[in-house]
Amino acid sequence: MRRVLALLVLLTVVFTGCQATPKQPVVINKNTEQLIDAAIRNEEKLTLAQMLHAPDRLVLSAVDGSGSVSVNADAAVVVPDAEGASTMRIRKRSFTQTEADSVLDFFVGERDFNTRYEAGYDEMTEQLLQFKANLAQETDPDKRAQLEQSIAKFESAGITVPDEPEAVLPASRMFEPREEGGGEYISGFFSDGEGKCFLSVVNDIDENENTVLYTREQKGYAAFEGTYWYAQQFDSVDKIGLDPETVSATPLSLSAEEAKATAADALIALGISDMTLAMCEEVWGGTSLKDGLEAMQGHHAYMLKYVRVVGGIPVTYTEASPDGDYVENENTPNERVIAGWPYEEVHFIIDDTGIAEFVWQSPYEIVETVTTHSAVKSFDEISGVFSKMLLIKHAWPGQNTTLTFNISRAQLGLMRIMEKDKPDTALLIPVWDFFGDVVYDYTDNEGQWQTDTALNAYTSWLTINAIDGSIIDRGLGY
């Protein structure tokens, strides 16, 4: 399993690190006006079917000149049942108070919604108290010196122990400015009689942090999203401090269909429309707990992820995340491109206790419909780009190493791409994504030939702009 995880890291580095080749650019031209001009060149409003001439399956094989990277495709070609593919300009937005009210009504209802579960101290004060308690019992001079140094650092930072612990007060159900940083928030704690619940709604456009988070735990409370793995990644649960055997013994009597019904009902009650189910997977994992006897809460559950549908075409779900910082393009050293805007997502973790986690992040609004019938390349042209550029994109895997991509799905959908000098808006365009597994053959430290396979149905190994055939880097967002 560790070799497979290492492979995924390797492929991520290769995927994002090789930004150009001698033959053609890997990243699309940042002049999105040229892209818009290409998108609207469908004056006759030909349908997708008329422009694509897509087969039911893509079957091809190719290998690069070094023989180190090859691709075998026997892939279902997935084209949404839509007359045309829209190109739209969208803008990031904050959650409205009306949306926050719907979230509060659904998850909290008439229950008490408070600033804490019980009277106490904040996390930093509790740490300071722990340092002082340890110091009172410690006899080793070196350890006492370390504790005294830690206490001094906390107190020099203005962290002190108040005369009285912080009281439990009603939390505001209206947005309030955040005390630290910018933006606004609603945040509070409550209990439904069986679990401890945490709910927050955060708006911070400048930091690209617009997120609803709800968690429900039985052994404490969680104020962060959990970490979960699918069946083929199950052994990795030990990476967050959970015992695989214990987690695997956690029952899950709920069916996938029941989980889907629960999530669908929740979306209706929350007023979240124009979304479609992109993934429903049985998962294992959990999250760090506070205010509990155990450090971690293990879950055996279903993870369901929803994406937006525009004009009958879903935004394609992949597990790629845009970089969180400014990224300098190697070809233009003085130009910086903001790429930290997370892709919109709605997800649920649902187990036998109900909804254990709900996240809605990065909503946006449509500000301009460029065209509802984007001009797109034929599938024959796209497959030609795919057979060449997949090999180039993942070239140079390392000495004594070969990569074999077995592509099983080619999917047309929508994707949000960044606009030059416009950090708050983006274009929603049609793209092709290619999914499958990767066989990684390599020589180990003892000179023995080894084989590992990376299985992940939601990793797109190549994303092609359906309008102009250029390659898009999902990590950069353009």
Give the closest residue to 457 by CA, choosing from 284, 278, 261, 264.
278
Average pLDDT in the 450-466 region?
A: 91
Other beta carbons within 10 angstroms of residue 84's beta carbon come to 22
Q: Strands 227-229 and 87-92: what pairing?
A: unpaired
403/461 Cα distance (integer angstroms): 12
The mean pLDDT value of the chain amounts to: 87
| Higher per-residue pLDDT: 15 or 49 | 49
At residue 323, the pLDDT reads: 65
| Higher per-residue pLDDT: 201 or 421 | 201
Indicate whether 32 pLDDT > 60. Answer: yes
Residues forming beta bridges with residue 184, ordered by sequence position = 177, 203
Would you give the end-to-end CA distance of the chain in angstroms? 31
Say what the pTM is: 0.84
pLDDT digits (tens, 9 = 90+) for 413-453: 999 998 877 888 999 999 999 999 999 998 888 888 888 88
451 burial (CB, 10 Å; 0-12 / 13-18 / 19+) is: exposed
| Higher per-residue pLDDT: 11 or 71 | 71
Q: How confident is the model at residue 332 (pLDDT cuts 50, 70, 90)?
A: low
Residues 6+ positions from 220 with CB-CB distance below 8 Å: 196, 289, 290, 291, 292, 293, 294, 297
pLDDT digits (tens, 9 = 90+) for 212-263: 999 999 888 999 999 998 887 776 777 777 887 888 888 999 999 999 999 9
Tokens of 453: 């396979």
pLDDT digits (tens, 9 = 90+) for 125-159: 878 888 888 999 999 999 999 999 999 999 898 88
pLDDT digits (tens, 9 = 90+) for 256-268: 999 999 999 999 9
Q: How confident is the model at residue 328 (pLDDT cuts 50, 70, 90)?
A: low
The residue to which tokens 């709920």 are assigned:
254
304/347 Cα distance (integer angstroms): 5
pLDDT digits (tens, 9 = 90+) for 270-287: 999 999 999 999 999 988
pLDDT digits (tens, 9 = 90+) for 368-385: 999 999 999 999 999 999
Indicate whether 21 pLDDT > 70. Answer: no
At residue 161, the pLDDT reads: 85
